[in-house]
């Protein structure tokens, strides 16, 4: 299995400030034949199913605000919320789909 490790486990950010979440995979999730990074990001709020935010490491899902962005390649990835809003309070997960899907342990984002 590819192990996904997120950092930090939690972070508190002031409204309007930037939030950055890191995700590291134990093996590269970059598929050389198509140059695709098999990495997605989800937002999970209590009582709701996970919401897909980003796939292919940097492609924003339709309807997702542009304050959410994904970057990185190979083994190191980042989810950035450029200007934190109150509705962004949630737990965020990365997921690799290069092989048997696995998720990071989650990062809890709160308001400072």
| CB 96, min distance to another protein, A | 9
- Of 40 and 79, CB closest to another protein: 40
Q: Residue 46, class by beta-carbon neighbours within 10 Å (0-12 exposed, 13-18 middle, 19+ buried)?
A: exposed
Q: Determine the Cα–Cα distance for residues 3 and 32; give it in Å rounded to an integer.
A: 20
- Of 13 and 92, CB closest to another protein: 92
73: left (phi over 0), alpha (psi -120 to 50) or beta: beta
Contact positions vs another protein (CB under 8 A): 1, 38, 40, 42, 44, 48-52, 55, 61, 93, 95, 97-106
| CB 16, min distance to another protein, A | 29
């Amino acid at each position: 299995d590819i192990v996904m490790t997120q950092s930090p486990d939690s972070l508190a950010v002031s409204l309007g400030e930037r939030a950055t979440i890191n995700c590291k995979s134990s093996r590269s999730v970059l598929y050389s034949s198509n140059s695709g990074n098999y990495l997605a990001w989800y937002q999970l709020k209590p009582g709701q199913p996970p919401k897909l935010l980003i796939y292919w490491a940097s492609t924003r899902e339709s309807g997702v605000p542009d304050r959410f962005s994904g970057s990185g390649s190979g083994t190191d990835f980042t989810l950035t919320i450029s200007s934190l809003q109150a509705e962004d309070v949630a737990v965020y997960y990365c997921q690799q789909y290069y092989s048997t899907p696995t998720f990071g342990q989650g990062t809890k984002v709160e308001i400072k």
